[in-house]
Structure 1
Amino acid sequence: MSANRERVQVVRTPTVTAQISPEQRFWKGFTNSQLVKEHNAITHINFDPNSPHDFAITSSTRVQVFSSKTRKVVNNFTRFKDTVYCGEFRHDGKLLVAGDASGLVQIFDAHHPRTLLVTITPSSHPTHITKFHPTINTNLLTCSDDRVARIYDISQSQKPIISFNNHDDYIRSGTFLENSPNLIATGCYDNFIRIFDTRIGNNDPIIKFNQSSPVEDLLSINSTSIVSAGEGVIKQWDLIAGKMSRSLHSFNKTVTCLSSAGERGILVGSIDGHVKVFDTSTTNWDVKFGWKFGSGVLSCGVSPDFKHLVVGLNSGLLTIRTKKNSLNDDKIDINAINNTNSKKNSNKSHAFDRNTKGSDFKGEGEHYVIDEKVKYKKLQPFEKNLNAFRWSDALNSALEDGLEKEFTVTCLEELKKKGKIHNALSNRDETSLEPLLTWCVKSIKDVRNVSIINDYIISILEMYDELISRKPVLGELILNLQKKIDIEIKKAQDAERIIGMLELINA
């Protein structure tokens, strides 16, 4: 059975592979994206510390809890009369707390939205910060726009255990210090970060830092270091030395949120729409990865098991990015599928198997069935000439104006493979040699074309040395080619010198 001649494979010029670090490869894995549109801006995101790590988002007058398995809303806390702030889980995942613009703080059973357990009214001003103590189940931190930070015992919520009113403006961020539960840090719009010790029992901070801009968020990295965000600047503060460790200017607009990514570093979101990952294990806190969103970022977070990356925007859009399944999960899924298939096959009778025996045989490759209805792509002119053994015409067709560079290189390579370079160049004059030399002069800058150009130029010099000496146009083209080769050689030499200098510096 006859078949069409196999087409010439178009040459694909090699490309330099991108140097992707393991850290970039990890964050690129969050590809499965889901968008959820809320009525108002997403002001806060918090993950349940316990498996399966459901996450709560705070928006408008409600707090919604999304399942980490289905990415759908499983609980909806709506018993608020005003805008809600800072919906947070307790460390055991059993309770959820949130404050609102009226100053009311409410504590719910995290699994039963209708079960309101405790109501606290620390102030008539908006309460933006509500956080449970990391180890003591009954202690709660609240920070309000009345410039006071309070710690409550939720079992006796009539009045706070201790109050810190040494602030000159709104308190919009506050947290317990990592591994130092007796210390709390507050960030204020008066540009100062204050560290209080709950054991002392007075209003004076033990340490005070100047951010030089309103403090939007705080994050405790460890017991001796905290990170603050204000305007477009991120600063790290050393509590032992009592001074700033580093200052990072990586954003064009105000930084709004800081979130811990564990050993992977910290996530930082900004009004300019960027979320960046800073590697805290490096000396300069290098940016390892980042995302760009369509509007300002107000909140962000990654689940403790690094399954979900959640970002909330001021447009009301919630982005949930899920990492691909691990290899073990894939194996489990494949085994489950195989077991299902085996069950289905086991239900078939032996008679059915005998009747369908051989139906799944696909052949061993000796026979090719060609469908005459298949429409083949139109051949290029140089392909038609190559199939007809017209070598000189094929070369002329490959050098026509408007033809893609890949096709030209493909034809030249094909003639070289077939050993027909001399045949394609035979019986030529000044007019027919000029297009080939012009193409060589233009393409010599690309190092990927050097080998093929070298073969054709050597053949031209061997066959038409006398003609080139008599024709000024051809001589000028050869001279231009030589000048460009000299320039490329000089560039290569300069590159070698630079490499040598860098090796000396790194030695």
Structure 2
Amino acid sequence: MSAPRERVVTARNPSVPTQISPEQKFWKGFVNSQLVKEHNAITHIHFDPNSPHDFAVTSSTRVQVFSSKTRKVVKNFTRFKDTVYCGEFRNDGKLLVAGDASGLVQIFDAHHPRTLLVTITPTTHPTHITKFHPTINTQLLTCSDDRVARLYDISQSAKPIISFNNHDDYIRSGIFIPTSPNLIATGCYDNNIRIFDVRVGGNDPIVKFNQSSPVEDMLSLTPTNILSAGEGVVKYWDLVAGKLSRTLHNFNKTVTCLSDAGERGILVGSIDGHVKAFDTSTPNWDVKFGWKFGSGVLSCGVSPDFKHLVVGLNSGLLTVRTRKNNNDNISATTATSNNLKFKGDKSHGFARFMRGSDFKGEGEHHVIDEKVNHKKLRSFERDLNGFRWSDALNSALLDGLDTEATITCLEELKKKGKVRIALANRDEASLEPLLTWCLKFIDDPRNVSIIADYVICILEMYDELISRKPVLEELVLNLQKRVEIELKKAQDSERIIGMLELLSA
């Protein structure tokens, strides 16, 4: 009884260094996508600062709260008569505030949507910004189209604590400066960013910056800086120096939203449909990753635990992307302590029945498994086993065969010393596929050595034939040009390495 022919060991090229950085790998992890269609544009997204970090989505005449565990709507705030703007949680997650196009501002119990706690009517113009103070739970900031920003004490909401009147156009963004409870920044359509101090008063700002375009959104990462978005640029302002420190020109259309991604940098969304992640720890604030959506982006955000990435579009489409969590499965130890039983667990009776089934014999025994299925040999492997060297080479060059299989055949012929025999007695039609394959894969440095061996043999054996056949001659000339290009790249790389070594010395 003859033993079956062994398969040829596939040649494995050295692994190419990965081109994906850790930041790109992190953002690529948001893959589990869910799409939700709303009736109107999604103007605002805000995550509850407290676990499990549910998120509020503002669209049309309602604010919906989605569960971070199921990604389904768990609460609906619908007691509005007009378009709603800027639904946001308080820092303790107990209250939710939103303003609408009639100017009405309403504060709800975040756990009971029908419980309306406070109603404020600062103006009859649309109120686009409503934000709770990050540290003082009773203070609320509102910014409206009547060109006035107001600071309220929600326990005495009849009259604002202070009003900031020094604006010349609609106010579409307003923030509190972190760790500075008395500083408030507003962004206006008159192209200006104003910093107000509550202790001084609301008549004149203490600092004023010119964005040179209508201010759509603002973000403050530290107490000494502000990010502002307008038209296609994002500007970074230094409050201590009182000047512009950085400008990001990474978008073709108006930038609409800025979102803090914690240690991962910032997320920026634009009307051109892009959301880009900027790494603020690099000197140039490099773009580490980006997503492209089918319509303009109006709002975006990532949860504090980096589990969900949520993007709202002007078409009414909400995209929720979730990272895979490797800790979703409960460990066996935890399950035992909680008296849980997994579906895959077997009873003790089954374990006794299967006892000894994995015994393979002692050292003097040889167990033969008759059910071993040998994989079918590939065509070039059958030709190699049959000593048909030329046919093996032809089979390795067929369309649809992967590069590793072709290289495996070429290496095997070289190992057996049958390269010239495989190349013998060939004409134009049989030489052209091999030269075409060599021309296609000469760029990869891992294939250069084996390709060089075959090309040298072809030039030695078929010099006259190549000079008489225009097709073969053109392939050889193109191969020569490609080699010269690669050599020039290598020389340029050596020069650059030398210059870098001089600079680093």
1:92 alignment partner AA: D
Q: Residues 218 and 486 from structure 1, CA distance in 2 versus in 1: closer, same or farther, beyond 3 angstroms?
A: closer
The equivalent of 2:369 in structure 1 is 367
Query: Per-residue displacement from partner, 1:445-499 (whole Å, max 9, x unpaired)?
Result: 55333322344466678xx68x85899659x979967787666545433432232
- Is the Cα contact below 8 Å between 1:96 and 1:108 reproduced in 2? yes
Of stretches 362-371 and 61-70 in structure 1, the one that deviates more from structure 2 is: 362-371
Pair 1:308 & 2:313 matched: no
Which of 488, 491, 496 matches 1:493?
A: 491
The equivalent of 2:112 in structure 1 is 112
The equivalent of 2:19 in structure 1 is 19
Aligned 1:105-144 pairs, distance under 5 A: 105-144=105-144
- Is the Cα contact below 8 Å between 2:89 and 2:95 reproduced in 1? yes
Distance 1:83 1:429 in 2: 78
The equivalent of 1:157 in structure 2 is 157
Aligned 1:30-429 pairs, distance under 5 A: 30-326=30-326, 329=327, 332-333=330-331, 335=333, 340=340, 347-349=347-349, 353-358=351-356, 366-369=368-371, 379-380=378-379, 382-395=380-393, 398=396, 408-425=406-423, 428=425
Q: Tell me, what secondary structure is at the counterpart of 1:221?
A: coil
Of stretches 24-33 and 94-103 in structure 1, the one that deviates more from structure 2 is: 24-33
CA apart distance, 1:323: 1.9
Q: Residues 483 and 197 from structure 1, CA distance in 2 versus in 1: closer, same or farther, beyond 3 angstroms?
A: closer
Distance 2:204 2:433 in 1: 84
Pair 1:449 & 2:447 matched: yes
Distance 1:282 1:61 in 2: 41
Query: Per-residue displacement from partner, 1:165-207 (whole Å, max 9, x unpaired)?
Result: 1111111111111111111111111111111111112411111
Structure 2, unmatched stretches of 5+, are none
CA apart distance, 1:56: 0.9
TM norm structure 2: 0.85
Q: Tell me, what secondary structure is at the counterpart of 1:493?
A: helix
Distance 2:481 2:51 in 1: 69
Distance 1:295 1:362 in 2: 62
Identity of aligned residues (%): 73
Q: Tell me, what secondary structure is at the counterpart of 1:450?
A: helix
- Is the Cα contact below 8 Å between 1:219 and 1:258 reproduced in 2? yes
Aligned 1:452-467 pairs, distance under 5 A: 452-456=450-454
CA apart distance, 1:151: 1.0
Q: Residues 356 and 105 from structure 1, CA distance in 2 versus in 1: closer, same or farther, beyond 3 angstroms?
A: same
TM norm structure 1: 0.85
- Is the Cα contact below 8 Å between 1:430 and 1:471 reproduced in 2? no
Q: Residues 79 and 333 from structure 1, CA distance in 2 versus in 1: closer, same or farther, beyond 3 angstroms?
A: farther
Q: CA RMSD in A?
A: 3.6
Distance 1:497 1:179 in 2: 51
- Is the Cα contact below 8 Å between 1:399 and 1:435 reproduced in 2? no
Pair 1:502 & 2:470 matched: no
Q: Tell me, what secondary structure is at the counterpart of 1:31?
A: strand
1:185 alignment partner AA: A
- Is the Cα contact below 8 Å between 1:441 and 1:484 reproduced in 2? no
- Is the Cα contact below 8 Å between 2:143 and 2:171 reproduced in 1? yes
Structure 1, unmatched stretches of 5+, are none
Give the length in aligned residue pairs.
494
Distance 1:289 1:167 in 2: 37
Q: Residues 505 and 156 from structure 1, CA distance in 2 versus in 1: closer, same or farther, beyond 3 angstroms?
A: same
1:261 alignment partner AA: A
CA apart distance, 1:139: 1.2
- Is the Cα contact below 8 Å between 2:150 and 2:162 reproduced in 1? yes
- Is the Cα contact below 8 Å between 1:311 and 1:319 reproduced in 2? yes
Q: Residues 486 and 133 from structure 1, CA distance in 2 versus in 1: closer, same or farther, beyond 3 angstroms?
A: closer
Distance 2:212 2:466 in 1: 75
Q: Tell me, what secondary structure is at the counterpart of 1:180?
A: coil
CA apart distance, 1:7: 4.8
- Is the Cα contact below 8 Å between 2:148 and 2:166 reproduced in 1? yes
- Is the Cα contact below 8 Å between 2:166 and 2:202 reproduced in 1? no
Query: Per-residue displacement from partner, 1:250-291 (whole Å, max 9, x unpaired)?
Result: 111111111111222211111111111122222222212221
Query: Per-residue displacement from partner, 1:94-140 (whole Å, max 9, x unpaired)?
Result: 11110001111111111111111111100011111111112222111
Distance 2:483 2:189 in 1: 64
CA apart distance, 1:385: 2.9
1:242 alignment partner AA: G
Distance 1:154 1:162 in 2: 13
Distance 1:8 1:62 in 2: 65
1:163 alignment partner AA: S
Q: Residues 409 and 204 from structure 1, CA distance in 2 versus in 1: closer, same or farther, beyond 3 angstroms?
A: same
1:22 alignment partner AA: P
Q: Tell me, what secondary structure is at the counterpart of 2:181?
A: strand
Aligned 1:432-447 pairs, distance under 5 A: 438=435, 442=439, 446-447=444-445
CA apart distance, 1:344: 7.6
